[in-house]
Chains A and B, each alone.
Chain A
Amino acid sequence: MPQIITEQNLRNLIDLLVKEAKLVVGPKLSGSVVLYEPLTAGSDLTLDALPRRSSKELFFPICEDILSYKRENGSMKVTDVDRSQFPEAVLIGAPPCDAGSPAILDAVMSWDYKDEFYLERRRKSTIVGIACTKGDDACFCRAVGLAPDAEAGSDLFLTPLKDGSYACKAVTEKGEALVAAHRNLFAEGAGGDPVPFVDQGVGKLDLVKIKKWLEEHFEDPLWEKIADICVGCGACAFICPACHCFDINDEGSTDDGVRRKHWDACGFAKFTNHASGHNPRDVQNKRYRNRIMHKFKYYDGKFGKTLCTGCGRCIRACPVGIDIAEILETINSKQD
């Protein structure tokens, strides 16, 4: 049965979840920008703009401890992180380009070896996605198989209605459980007219064709033409909902400290530098080529998924104006 929740009850739901000691994360005005941040009350939630950074960091923090070490009585002791202390979390108000990213990252984090840091946070989280009515020219979710109303990745999916309320659809058991636990905030019914989506600059692209072109054009003048201007700042990777490269380093002394996993980026010059000094991706266009190849060919080849949600953040943030959607369109339009 379809459900409706009013905007006030959505905010009341957040209040209740916070009281239940859950970590509630959603778009919040932080200074002059909107970011995904912990909400302390329903009034914190703002759905006026796409948050500057993606919601990926709820599951895959920028930096997290993976162990601690301490020398005691001359012997080194290594202590695991108590992952049972990770909070029960609700991500609320994530548009499909953000709500959809964990569904993509689950594949790499759980194949063969399991990254329990990511997976434990996933198990303990519920995602309340929301149909996107705030898209702009940089958005291209349709190009990568998502859409402003795509439910992929959401446990409960909200569609904004013209009267200010939201149509709700429980997509998973977690979503059903969330509604069931707070049934008095929801009303039965299909609701009125949905708020229209904003047209995107880029429409649906033929990802199979793009992948085939990438397979056949590892060496192509396109890479130098489009990617030599990349400055390797890594901004695109750091705000991307799907990039998952990381490094591991220690912080502390040789006697007492923590080992941390932290984000890294394949656009950085030394990312693949061998100990010998040989660097397989020795110039920037090779590094940018890897970024495109990884998202639209390699990840698909390995896990059957596109490593991009079309959020457009990398386009908005690139200091030299590299437009990944434009590159995809260029490749899509090639005849050979």
Chain B
Amino acid sequence: MCKSENIYLPNLATIEAIVDETPDVRTLRLVFQDEQVRENFSFRAGQFAEYSSFGFGESTFCIASAPTRKGYIECCFRSVGRVTESLRRLEVGDTVGVRGPYGNSFPIEDFYGKSLVFIAGGIALPPLRTVIWNCLDLRDKFKDITIVYGARSEADLVYKHELKEWQERDDVRLVKCVDPGGAGPDFDGKVGFVPTVLEEAAPSAENTIALVCGPPIMIKFTLPVLERLGFTDDNIYTTLENRMKCGVGKCGRCNVGNVYVCKDGPVFTARQVKAMSQEF
């Protein structure tokens, strides 16, 4: 196998664990089968990979686990199409293909000494979860850490076990919310849309970086809130979740104007996003 030459050749990984986050969102913990790959594989928070289910093809997801956790990677996906539904049919011990890591990443070193506010909606928590754990594993390098996470309903909240863990830590402030009508009788979070809940939580913008990930509509309404709270466009980071296929700037699918999201992104500052043609 001439790995260096065929950019489309995946590494093989074994599914080590499966967690059902919601009725249709699943996390796979993957361990590379080749010992050398397992030892040498490294990535940065924010990068993505192409995951393949043999017989069906490839899908693009961020690497949802933290680069500080070695020996495995995790991906988290909702079953919406042919490839993701076939990935969902796989069991512990089955093989998947993994190409990557691809794309740019969050410049975590630049965030040292600052406070962080993570804002996520629905299944957009995984691209921030990698950063959250990365930063929590280096906790003393950051000041306050706030996480505002919301979903349509209680059932749609992903990583429930980790939300609980973050809630119980005294070095993290978690603000959990669901849309109106989405809370059960025992829900211990807030009821409201993410931008509103964020505004109520009012994290300080001073020496703070905001990281936002969510559906386009959530991002659209969150950016003005951040602006009102005093965040500048250079201190707000997001990821563009464009449809991708090759992952390496060839197939022409993920372009937003001159920008190849798979190569130039997926991580951008609000300033960079605002400079793009509004086609995402």
Report A's interface with B, CB cutoff 8 A: 66-67, 69, 75-76, 78-81, 83, 108-109, 111-117, 218, 244-250, 252-255, 257, 259, 261, 264, 266, 271-278, 280-281, 286, 290, 293-294, 297-298, 301-302
Contacts and interface: CB of A to CB of B under 8 A. Distances in A.
B230 interface: no
Contacts of B9: 66-67, 78, 80
Contacts of A278: 215-216
Closest 7 CB pairs of A and B: A254-B55, A245-B252, A113-B248, A301-B258, A76-B95, A66-B8, A249-B57
Nearest to A301: B258
Nearest to B255: A298
Nearest to B5: A116
Nearest to B257: A298
6 contacts: A69-B54, A80-B6, A250-B54, A250-B56, A266-B252, A275-B84
Interface residues of B, number: 51
B250 A67 contact: no
Interface string B247-280: 0111111111110100100000000000001111
Contact of A248 (B6, B57, B95): B57
B243 A272 contact: yes
A264 B55 contact: no
For chain B, what secondary structure do more than half of its interface residues adopt (helix, strand, loop), or is it mixed?
A: loop
B6 A67 contact: yes
Contacts of A112: 248-249, 263
B263 A248 contact: no
Interface in B20-61: 52-59
B192 interface: no
Given A248-B57, A275-B81, A298-B258, A280 B279 contact: yes
B216 A109 contact: no
Contacts of A290: 255, 279
Given A272-B242, A281-B279, A245 B55 contact: no
B149 to A, nearest CB: 17
